[in-house]
Amino acid sequence: MSDELKRGLEGVLVAESDLSFIDGDEGKLVYRGYAIEDLAEHASYEETVYLLWNGELPTESELSTFADAMSAERALDDDTLETVTRLAEADEEPMAAMRTAASMLSAADPDTDADPTDPEANVRKARRITAKLPTALAAFARVRDGDEPVEPREDLGHAENFLYMLNGEVPDEVTADVFDQALVLHADHGLNASTFSATVTASTLADMHSAITSAVGTLSGSLHGGANANVMRMLQEVDEADEDPVEWVKRALDEGRRVAGFGHRVYNVKDPRAKILGDRSEELGEASGDRKWYEMSVAIEEYMAEEKGLAPNVDFYSATTYYQMGIPIDIYTPIFAVSRAGGWAAHVMEQFEDNRLIRPRARYVGEKDAKWVPIDER
């Protein structure tokens, strides 16, 4: 047994998966064999989730049945909706509210007493979680802003329905398409921290809801989720300073500040998802007649590449994409969870197929021969 220490488990292989593949040197991301560029251009979020859960693309009838089954599960039970409402009124952090909602969904799930490894029950649980988390998030955001929750509609697609519940009106086709594409891009990404958290929890034979709740909690940490919100706040700061973005970045770096949205544990080149969202950010700017957020981002990207050798990750351009769609900055990370729920569930189901308890070791560096001292002599 090797005693080599790998902090953060970097580079350590702990599982085999056929869900997604990342080539960090080539800037390549694949779901079940399909390039992310093809999926982003052609597949809906529902189609992508079907692929992740079933291993193959659906036929037209299979996709219709799958999408209908998911849309039928969107409504929240009264207790969960009441809890989300109370959390919003108490000004809870959005990710904390999402964590609570994910856990609470188990109480009303018809399969809550099923064996944790039951494949069919897990598909049903995964479908309900993936369908209901957007409803919980939209309700939270509206109540927090003093508005009433909007009930989901079964005749709208997954992405379109979320924007409808969030804003109270059906989005235009372009906005709905861009958001759907963003959900596809965030659906899975290998064994990242939150996905690993979900699989560790599942490996103990905890149930689907416990695993997803673990994942949401892990995503809430600033070193995993939250980067796109930080990118947008940074860009707002640049804008408010009325300063050239490159000069602002130079000054920020001189002050020891970190420029959000750059660098990645896996990618050594530009994140392929950033390329796609960069194009969509530009399109949204063109459509609105205001390209400043996109142009500001490009200027910073070019400087960071030339001077620091750093490329943007997915968060860098998802920030301006969401912002131009009118989405509140502090729900960017919960939207990540809304999308990644499909991927988390896929990994949980994959873990159960050939389960082994995940139990790494730690190197002990403490004292080994301490002598007991009676309490009256300490």
Residues sharing a CB contact under 8 Å with residue 258, sequence separation 6 or more, in sequence order = none
Determine which helix (DSSP H) or strand (DSSP E) holds 251, and give its type and residue range.
helix 245-254
Please give the structure tokens belonging to residue 289.
Answer: 């007649």
Catalytic (active site) residue 158: no
Residue 122 CA to residue 345 CA, distance in Å, equals 8
β-partners of residue 23 are 28
Is residue 318 within 8 A of residue 107, CB to CB? The reply is no
Please give the structure tokens belonging to residue 139.
Answer: 């309700």
- Classified as helix, coil or strand, 312 is strand
Kindly write down the DSSP assignment for every residue of 13-68, as one continuous string.
-----SSEEEETTTTEEEETTEEHHHHHHH--HHHHHHHHHHSSPPPHHHHHHHHH
Name the nearest CA neighbour of 109 among 18, 43, 208, 216: 208
What sign results for the dihedral spanned by CA atoms 313, 314, 315, 317? positive
Q: Which residue has the tokens 């188990």?
A: 106
Q: Which residue has the tokens 């599982």?
A: 15
| Active-site residue, selected from the candidate residues 158, 189, 264, 347 | 264
- Apex 47 CA angle, 320 and 137, nearest 5: 50
Q: What is the CB neighbour count within 10 angstroms for residue 277? A: 28
| Active-site residue, selected from the candidate residues 109, 111, 188, 315 | 315
Catalytic (active site) residue 244: no
Residue 77 CA to residue 107 CA, distance in Å, equals 9
Residue 25 CA to residue 316 CA, distance in Å, equals 19
Residue 65 CA to residue 46 CA, distance in Å, equals 11
- Classified as helix, coil or strand, 12 is coil
What positions carry a catalytic annotation? Answer: 264, 315
